[in-house]
Amino acid sequence: MVLELEETVVMKNTNGHAIELNVKQGEPTLVKPAEDTEKGLYFLSNLDQNIAVIVRTIYCFKSDEKGNEKAGEVIKNALEKVLVHYYPLAGRLTISSEGKLIINCTGEGAVFVEAEANCALEKIGDITKPDPETLGKLVYDIPGAKNILEMPPLAAQVTRFKCGGFVLGLCMNHCMFDGIGAMEFVNSWAERARGLPLKIPPFLDRSILKARNPPKIEDLHQEFAEIEDKSGTSELYKDEMLYRSFCFDSEKLEKIKMIAMEDEVLDKCSTFEALSAFVWKARTKALKFLPDQQTKLLFAVDGRSKFNPPLPKCYFGNGIVLTNSICQAGELTEKPLSFAVGQVQDAIKMVNDSYMRSAIDYFEVTRARPSLSSTLLITTWSRLSFHTTDFGWGEPVLSGPVALPEKEVSLFLSHGKERKSINVLLGLPALAMKIFQELMAL
């Protein structure tokens, strides 16, 4: 049954013609695990506590051989089966006696909604640009939820389009998993939809990342440092925010690496290091930071193989840790690109077992969250294989985020058929975006 809950958005497709996306959502239902699962409280590590934000993603499917009539039913049935293995996703977030987030494994179920759109899938246009107003219609938000405790860890919406295609929209709490964990879950869900067993069941015990007793803080952990806004950037942010996507093909990426290496200061330089440094430097210039203004770069490093011993395969949870680099804006903008790349390389080198255990203990003692003042936070999805997810309708024709979680976040997404290009998504105040766009022209 489809309720008369309609959301209408006028948007422009890639040809610039205005079209109207009208989505009728059905009644939300709760999808419980297909079998009885463990009940009680489920521990979340300090790496999970730090990033309890809602992440909304969409996957667009279209098959020439198969219509979308059974898409909702197939995906819902598969969800029941995969939740047997990932049962904490059927629980609810609550606060532990220590004042931390914890999951109450009630088995209530994930939220599931079927919906219908009034147009063909291709009409939604270019989803490489986050567009919360349009793409937000394709994910289900809990009406009236005031905070994350009122939202289930997982909500899924399947929207059927007139052309026979459909979109799976997911609303998931980052405290449940990082990008790698989310990818493993969605791919496991897709395996169940195709009638296959799970390749690797999840490793559920997060207590292997418990804080030490007594805690042992061995690093400065400047990722938590609050930087004074000497440049009055907060005023600039009162201007209209513009969101843009910049595509770097393999040729452009090579060019940036060449620029970084030309003064022969560096021995080597990866694509991620060069692109992160290039974007950080350009954004700092665009925001017109004063020369003595400190600026911080934050990015996540996958710690799975860096822990000692390494985390088990298919670890269910956040295995990433934030690392950082802080320098003066004048240094960053005036020195050659090799300086910025060196800063990124040093931040990566910092991350080892001792640094990560220290970060876990730092949160235990301080309960501090990383500060985003005068900061660029880069989140990299370009190494994640979301595009391989197959529920039985082939791989997604498109997949990506609905929106950027914070104004300080820039997202790197792989792009193109061979996925060798990288799309950089970010938002800036209108005046700063104008300068940033000019700096992107290589």
Active site residues: 174, 390
Q: Residue 432 pairs with which residues in a beta bridge?
A: none
Q: Residue 117 pairs with which residues in a beta bridge?
A: 23
The pair of structure tokens assigned to 85 is 């293995």
Residues 6+ apart with CB under 8 A from 32: 80, 83, 90, 107, 108, 109
Nearest to residue 275, comparing CAs of 54, 61, 442? 442
The pair of structure tokens assigned to 5 is 């809950």
Contact 224, 49 (CB under 8 A): no
The pair of structure tokens assigned to 224 is 């938590």
Q: Residue 296 pairs with which residues in a beta bridge?
A: 326, 375
Q: Helix crossing, 71-85 with 179-193: angle to 10°?
A: 120
Residues 6+ apart with CB under 8 A from 296: 222, 223, 225, 227, 324, 325, 326, 374, 375, 376
Q: What are the distances in angstroms from CA 362 to CA 46, 306, 357? A: 9, 18, 9
Which residue has tokens 């990033």?
51
The pair of structure tokens assigned to 95 is 């606060």
Three-class SS state of 282? helix
Distance CA 118, CA 21 (A): 7
Contact 351, 303 (CB under 8 A): yes
Q: How do beta strands 320-328 and 40-42 pair?
A: unpaired
Contact 246, 423 (CB under 8 A): yes
Q: Residue 325 pairs with which residues in a beta bridge?
A: 297
Nearest to residue 168, comparing CAs of 140, 143, 196? 140
The pair of structure tokens assigned to 339 is 């300086």
Q: Could you count the other beta carbons within 10 Å of the beta carbon of residue 70?
A: 11
Residue 142 is given by DSSP the state P
Residues 6+ apart with CB under 8 A from 366: 224
Distance CA 127, CA 124 (A): 7
Nearest to residue 28, comparing CAs of 239, 171, 222? 171
